[in-house]
Amino acid sequence: MEINKISIGLVGPCASGKTTLKNGLVQYGLIVKHIAQEHSYVQDMWKRLSNPDILIYLDVSYEISKIRKSLNWTYDEFQIQKERLTHARNHADLYIQTDELSIDQVLKVTLVFLQERGNEN
């Protein structure tokens, strides 16, 4: 499987880095869909919207999410997003906790994973 021919879906709570990672991956010619499922009650929204070949789940802690974006939300609201994303997290091909990673590190982890995944096929 050539990595530039696969579709990649990105899910995760607000401020986890989905848009930033998408922008980085697109520069490599990859097909990436940011799936804003964190606002939906439909558990498999990620699959219904794009049914990607590879699903990547980016995670962030409540504390870091508030630092990255001026989000005016409570811990309970954050937890609701995490609950809504449970199905996607359980089906993700790659899970990345982004709290302590730079933008470049998240991109590198993802590219290495995709390259290894491409070499398997």
31's enclosing H/E stretch is: strand 31-34
pLDDT at 40: 57
Q: How many angstroms separate the CA atoms of 76 and 104, rounded?
A: 30
CA Rg value for the chain: 14
Instruction: Give the pLDDT confidence score for residue 59 in this predicted structure.
Output: 97
Domain ranges within the chain, ordered by starting residue: 3-103
Strands (E), 13-121: 31-34, 54-59, 94-97
The pLDDT tens digits for 106-117 are: 999 999 999 998
Q: What is the pTM of this model?
A: 0.89
* pLDDT digits (tens), the chain, 121 positions: 566 678 999 999 999 999 999 999 999 999 999 887 665 566 677 776 778 999 999 999 999 999 998 888 899 999 999 998 999 999 999 999 999 999 999 999 999 999 998 777 5
Confidence at residue 48, expressed as pLDDT on a 0 to 100 scale:
62
**pLDDT of amino acid 121:** 58
Only one residue has tokens 């991109």, namely 107
Please tell me the distance from the alpha carbon of residue 76 to that of residue 6, in angstroms, as a whole number: 36
Q: Which residue has the tokens 């993700």?
A: 92
Query: If you search the block for the tokens 């990607």, which residue do you land on?
Result: 52
pLDDT score at 34: 87
What does the DSSP 8-state code read for residue 50?
Answer: T
Q: What is the dotted CATH code of the domain comprising 3-103?
A: 3.40.50.300
Stretch (H or E) spanning 114: helix 103-120
